[in-house]
Amino acid sequence: MTFKSPVLAAILFLGSVAVAQAQATRTWVSGVGDDANPCSRTAPCKTFAGAISKTAAGGEINALDPGGYGAVTITKSITIDGGGTLASILATLGSNGINVNAAPSDVVTIRNVAINGANTGLNGIRFLAGGALHIEKCEIFGFAGNGINAVPTGGGMMYVLDTVLSNNDGGGILIKPSVYLGTSLDKVRLDGNLYGVRAENNANVTIRDSVAAGNSTHGFHAFSTGAGVLINLENSTATNNGGGGVTTSGAAAGISISNTTIMSNGQGLNTSAGGTVYSFGNNKIIGNGTDGAPTLDWPLQ
């Protein structure tokens, strides 16, 4: 296409440059920022929601200073990192702190963020869709629902590292996918929730170096109404939970335990509602109201 008017051509060219520059690969938020800003380091935005629309897919939002940066919905590959500051989200009545509803190939990372439900927020992080969700070095607490509510409809993966979930009335982590969801939890604390981790149909969860303590019902719970669910529990602890430290429900529910301590719970191993607990024979199950016993022993190879 050729333009008869040089002025018109220049206007269209400058407009295309402005659109191309509208989104940056790295943006910034500050407690004294303004969402009307371009979200640069010298002119930061005020909220995560304000910054995400100005951040390119695959880019990163960073926090410059301590502040409450508001709830956000994520629909593309993005990293939100509050490292080096006290970056937080305060969820309002009946809302989620972070919604993740991205495409099947998208990768989302939430790192170094405190998410506070103030006892009225619904869920800390709600995972609806996406290729992979990484939650690293976060604190999620005080929600009426779950700290993490993973209910994706299209499968994918979820990774939780070095994160604390506490005092959530609906449970620490709920994993309830429509189709297969692989999940890895490492160095996760689950304290004072309704339950620690509950994995349901189609979930395959590996939990390492983690603690479920003082939860009202179960520490680690595999629950099936038909489809298979498996939790692999390694080098972890369930203690002072009101129900079972390790609990299965349903014939297709299974939990394997290795080098794990299960102590001072209402019941140690609870398979009364069906399911299988596989033990590698190197666990400590002692001092519970009822210790219970593994369904099947697997010798170490």
User: What b/e string do you get for 183-222 counting C-beta neighbours within 10 Å, with b at 16 or more?
Assistant: bbbbbbbbbbbbbbbbbbbbbbbebbebbbbbbebbbbbb
**Do the domain assignments include residue 153?**
yes
Structure token pair of residue 69: 């940066």
Q: Could you tell me which of 87, 146, 98, 153 has the C-alpha nearest to residue 122?
A: 146
State the Cα–Cα distance between residues 126 and 138, nearest whole angstrom: 14
140-175 pLDDT tens trace: 999 999 999 999 999 899 999 999 999 999 999 999
State the Cα–Cα distance between residues 123 and 189, nearest whole angstrom: 17
**Do the domain assignments include residue 155?**
yes
> Is pLDDT at 123 greater than 90 in this prediction?
yes
CA torsion sign, 272 to 275 to 278 to 284?
negative
Report CA-CA distances (Å) from 282 to 49, 121, 148, 195: 48, 40, 30, 25
Q: Tokens 């939780």, residue?
A: 160
**Do the domain assignments include residue 27?**
no
Average pLDDT over residues 41-68: 97
R_g (Cα) of the chain, nearest Å: 22
> What is the domain range of residue 243?
57-297
In this predicted structure, what is the pLDDT of residue 299?
A: 78
State the Cα–Cα distance between residues 87 and 184, nearest whole angstrom: 24
Strands of 118-260 (E only): list them: 125-129, 132-136, 139-141, 146-150, 157-166, 171-175, 181-191, 197-199, 203-208, 211-213, 220-223, 229-234, 237-239, 244-249, 253-258
Average pLDDT over residues 117-141: 98
CA dihedral 197, 203, 206, 207 (to 10 degrees): 0
In this predicted structure, what is the pLDDT of residue 184?
A: 98
DSSP lists the bridge partners of residue 173 as 148, 197
CATH of the domain at 167: 2.160.20.10
Average pLDDT over residues 99-103: 98
Give the mean pLDDT of the chain: 93
**Do the domain assignments include residue 33?**
no
**Do the domain assignments include residue 243?**
yes
Number of domains observed in the structure of the chain: 1
Average pLDDT over residues 29-56: 98
**Do the domain assignments include residue 291?**
yes
State the Cα–Cα distance between residues 34 and 49, nearest whole angstrom: 11
223-232 pLDDT tens trace: 999 999 999 9
Instruction: pLDDT band for 300, please (50, 70, 90 cuts).
Output: confident
In this predicted structure, what is the pLDDT of residue 301?
A: 65
Helix (H) or strand (E) holding 15: helix 6-20
270-287 pLDDT tens trace: 999 999 999 999 999 999
Percent of the chain beyond pLDDT 90? 90
**Do the domain assignments include residue 21?**
no
> Is pLDDT at 3 greater than 70 in this prediction?
no
Contacts of 36 by beta carbon, 8 Å cutoff, 6+ apart: none
207-266 pLDDT tens trace: 999 999 999 999 999 999 999 999 999 999 999 999 999 999 999 999 999 999 999 999
In this predicted structure, what is the pLDDT of residue 84?
A: 86
Asked whether the whole model's pTM tops 0.85, one would answer yes
**Do the domain assignments include residue 166?**
yes
In this predicted structure, what is the pLDDT of residue 107?
A: 98
